[in-house]
């Protein structure tokens, strides 16, 4: 087990002022380089001395990666835009309130002032065995320490586990998937690769050492949200141990279009139950054309948890996920709308 010293190892700090310069540096130094966005996830790794990069590429000086702007009837958000700026922006507040709620639920105000939306969706898992330097599957070993009879696995996966039972900790990720967002990835050649937010995240069955599709030498530069779901009926809820500065035990995000009280269309996503945010396509298809009532919500909740396999200490996530799905369909209190 690693010794936590709270003193970062020495590295050379590089501060490019353009995306092109950042990609050049990333290509030059390869695996010796570490990308620094807001730094909240990075500084934990560095202070615990688990990650020891020779070069740290700080993106905070790249203005082109910041800001919220209208684009093709929707909105584009630079990856280095802080969570606070996302929460406060009138376009996000008026058209995409689900993203405002999700970003505002992340951590504390001080952390949101520094943390970025790109960092929030790209952060690594918070499994304490992995973060403490244990040689687990995700770290290149041959065991999952969180999935043994003696493990403490209260915050781990109930769905989609494949050797590793760590979960994705992002709050904004399920909201972006519910909004059918796209992630813009740029390589050193200057070409953009655009992937659906749903496909940006990967599970251990695809690559157990990564949580996103980012390739070596690529940067997440922007997030694009189409206008299709602007002003829909939105629902976001996060359950956590503490109301400030805590990761989700389970969270849910949904966008719904209704005609009267009949559900015409819906996108429904849960997170912190698997290694990647899970879009519940079977539930979405089931509720189309049905009334938004208790009967529909109850059936959808049961459908959502099919195949769940809880570990020793996280069986509570099964009814929690079921009830959050029910609430997303039935609604609790006021809906967030435009």
Together in a domain, 81 and 209: yes
Q: Is residue 31 part of a domain?
A: yes
Q: Which residues pair with 82 in a beta bridge?
A: 116
What is the pTM assigned to this prediction?
A: 0.95
Alpha helices in 123-165 (DSSP H): 128-131
Together in a domain, 304 and 180: no
Q: Is residue 133 part of a domain?
A: no
Identify the CA nearest to 3 among candidates 145, 135, 132. 132
Residue 4 has a pLDDT of: 53
Identify the CA nearest to 178 among candidates 111, 101, 125. 101
Structural domains of the chain, count: 3
Together in a domain, 209 and 86: yes
Q: Is residue 337 part of a domain?
A: no
* DSSP for 271-292, written as a single string: ESSSSS-EE-HHHHHHHTTSBS
Together in a domain, 213 and 72: yes
Look up the domain containing 299 and give its range. Answer: 235-330
Together in a domain, 90 and 116: yes
Together in a domain, 55 and 95: no
Identify the CA nearest to 220 among candidates 54, 103, 81, 25. 81
Together in a domain, 172 and 291: no
Together in a domain, 213 and 74: yes
Together in a domain, 73 and 55: no
- CA atoms within 13 Å, Cβ hemisphere of 65: 29
Q: Give the CATH number of the domain where residue 24 resides.
A: 3.30.43.10
Q: Is residue 155 part of a domain?
A: no
pLDDT tens per residue across all 338 residues of the chain: 555 566 788 999 999 999 999 999 999 999 999 999 999 899 888 888 888 999 999 999 999 999 999 999 999 999 999 999 999 999 999 999 999 999 999 989 999 999 999 999 999 999 999 999 999 999 999 999 999 999 999 999 999 999 999 999 999 999 999 999 999 999 988 889 999 999 999 999 999 999 999 999 999 999 999 999 999 999 999 999 998 889 999 999 999 999 999 999 999 999 999 999 999 999 999 999 999 999 999 999 999 999 999 999 999 999 999 999 999 999 874 443 33
Together in a domain, 180 and 44: no
Residue 245 has a pLDDT of: 83
Q: Is residue 139 part of a domain?
A: no
Residue 338 has a pLDDT of: 32
Residue 8 has a pLDDT of: 84
Together in a domain, 191 and 252: no
- Which of 188, 209, 227 finishes a domain? 227
- Interatomic CA distance for residues 62 and 219, integer angstroms: 12
**DSSP state at residue 125:** P
The CA–CA distances, whole Å, from 311 to 112, 154, 318 equal 32, 8, 11
Residue 48 has a pLDDT of: 83
Q: Is residue 105 part of a domain?
A: yes
Together in a domain, 216 and 72: yes
- Can you tell me whether residue 296 is helix, strand or coil? helix
Residue 6 has a pLDDT of: 66
């Amino acid at each position: 087990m690693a010794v936590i010293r709270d003193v970062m190892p020495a590295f050379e700090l590089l501060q490019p002022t353009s995306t092109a310069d950042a990609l050049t540096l990333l290509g030059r130094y390869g695996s010796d380089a570490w990308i620094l966005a807001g730094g909240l996830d990075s500084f934990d790794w560095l202070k615990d001395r688990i990650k020891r990069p020779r070069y740290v590429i700080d993106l905070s000086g790249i203005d082109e990666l910041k800001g919220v702007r209208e684009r093709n009837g929707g909105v584009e958000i630079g990856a280095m835009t802080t969570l606070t700026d996302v929460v406060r922006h009138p376009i996000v507040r008026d058209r995409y309130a689900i993203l405002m709620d999700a970003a505002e639920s992340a951590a504390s105000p001080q952390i949101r002032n520094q943390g970025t939306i790109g960092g929030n969706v790209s952060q690594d898992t918070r499994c304490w065995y992995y973060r403490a330097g244990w040689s687990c599957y995700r770290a290149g070993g041959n065991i999952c320490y969180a999935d043994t009879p003696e493990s403490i696995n209260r915050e781990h996966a109930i769905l989609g586990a494949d050797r590793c039972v760590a979960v994705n900790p992002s709050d904004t990720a399920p909201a972006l998937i519910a909004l059918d967002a796209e992630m813009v990835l740029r390589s050193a050649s200057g070409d953009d690769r655009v992937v659906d937010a749903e496909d940006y995240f990967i599970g251990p069955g695809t690559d157990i050492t990564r949580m996103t599709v980012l390739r070596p030498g690529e940067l997440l530069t922007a997030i694009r949200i189409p206008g299709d779901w602007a002003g829909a009926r939105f629902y976001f809820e996060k359950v956590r141990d503490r109301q400030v500065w805590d990761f989700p035990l389970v969270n849910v995000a949904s966008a719904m279009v209704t005609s009267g009280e009949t559900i015409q269309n819906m996108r429904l996503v849960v997170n912190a139950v698997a290694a990647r945010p899970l879009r519940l396509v079977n539930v979405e298809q089931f509720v189309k054309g049905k009334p938004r009532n208790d009967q529909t919500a109850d059936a959808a909740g049961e459908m959502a948890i099919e195949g769940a396999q809880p570990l020793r200490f996280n069986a509570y996530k099964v009814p929690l996920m079921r009830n959050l799905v029910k609430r997303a369909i039935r609604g609790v209190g006021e809906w967030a709308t435009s």
